[in-house]
Amino acid sequence: MENADGALLEALIAGRVDAFEELYERFAPRLLRAAHCITRRKEDAEDAVQDVFIALVRTGPALREVKNLNAYLFTSVHRSACRRAQQRSEHEQIDAESIAAPHEGDAEGAHSERLSRALQSLPLEQRTVLSLKIDGEMTFEQIAEMLNVSVNTAASRYRYALEKLRSALAPAAKAPTGGTHG
Amino acid sequence: MAESDELPPELSELEQQLRARRVPAGGEVYKQRVLQAVMNERRATERPSARLKRAASAWTFAAAIAAAVLLWLNLSLIAVSDTQLRAGAGGSSDERREAVQQLLEAVPELSIEDAQRQVLLFEAGARGIRAPVPKRSSTSL
């Protein structure tokens, strides 16, 4: 257990509110991104991350066994998000409101929206590896161990996911932004 | 692909975009919701243990009382079994003393304590059930 995380874990075990706030500030944005990547729904992502925080309270003193807090949290959110994603049909129509459009109207916002849509069109196994690698900042070894696959499989899924995203974004990127045809 | 394998520049750039992407989840309201849920959960997990502690202390108190009562009963029984009945000592009546004397004369092998005990038993029995008084005319007695 890292020293900094060890102190934080002890504070969490003691139930200190400031410790949970610190944990939220440090990890919640990345946990939400990872959960949203897997569930593709805002509500499910938020519920999955809340599940992680509640699980920390329930785990109590057993948290002292945690060696890597980051990996522990992302393993936890992955399980929770997958459970919630499975509860909904994988073929269910994605709610348009659940797809990010934070900067609608400007070029950056439009690109962000395209990226989100492209990300959500990936298969679940590729989205999972991508979120654990990008948002969870986990190594392929850690991801492989978590998903019970080989390191090469985890790395391949990541590579395929990135290439699919690039292909999905390429036509839009190459499309002329100025004049019109005809 | 090992960790050290470098991605082509366009994929590396895509990685950076993914790291910087924003999702519509989160916000201050959500943060407060999570922290409130944490506190609620903490209270819920604490409550049963506090209840158990209270129940445990109540049972400990009851067990201590029961142990004290049993000890007192045990000591009382020991004291009773080890104490000689001193019937007649102190406020015994003359009649009782006389009856003891008569009994000792009639049965010299009795100890004085046994004679006193017998007299007390006679008295108790006489109070409980009245002995029939034989009539002079009766031939059956």
Q: Please say if the pLDDT value at position A92 is more than 70.
A: no
Per domain, the residue ranges of chain B are 69-126
DSSP state for residue A65 in the 8-state scheme: G
Q: What is the residue type of A156?
A: S
A119 neighbourhood in chain B, CB within 8 Å: 18, 21
Rounded Cα–Cα distance for residues B122 and A17 (Å): 82
Q: Please say if the pLDDT value at position B12 is more than 50.
A: yes
pLDDT in tens, A151-166: 999 999 999 999 999 9
Interface test with A, best of B11, B19, B22, B46 (most A CBs within 10 A): B22
Which two tokens mark A178? 């100025």
| Top-confidence residue, B16 or A182 | B16
Which two tokens mark A176? 């002329």
- Give residues 54 to 113 of B whose Cβ lies within 8 Å of A: none
Q: Please say if the pLDDT value at position B110 is more than 90.
A: no
Q: Please say if the pLDDT value at position B37 is more than 60.
A: yes
- Give residues 104 to 133 of A whose Cβ lies within 8 Å of B: 111-112, 115-116, 119, 130
In the predicted model, what is the mean pLDDT of residues B64-88? 80
* Nearest-CB residue to B34 (from A33, A53, A130): A53
pLDDT in tens, A129-146: 999 999 999 999 999 999
pLDDT in tens, B77-97: 888 777 655 544 444 578 888
* Nearest-CB residue to A112 (from B14, B21, B39): B21
Q: Computed from CA positions of residues A173, A110, A122, B11, in that sequence, does the dihedral angle turn out positive or negative?
A: positive
| Top-confidence residue, B34 or A109 | B34
Query: How far from the centroid of its chain's Cα atoms is residue A79's Cα?
Result: 11
Name the pTM for this structure. Answer: 0.62
B21 neighbourhood in chain A, CB within 8 Å: 33, 100, 112, 115-116, 119
Cβ-contact A19, B30 below 8 angstroms? no
Cβ-contact A117, A99 below 8 angstroms? yes
Check residue A180 and give its pLDDT: 38
Smallest CA–CA separation between A90 and chain B, in Å? Answer: 20
Model ipTM value: 0.77
Does B34 contact A at CB distance below 8 Å?
Answer: yes
pLDDT in tens, B17-36: 888 887 776 788 999 999 99
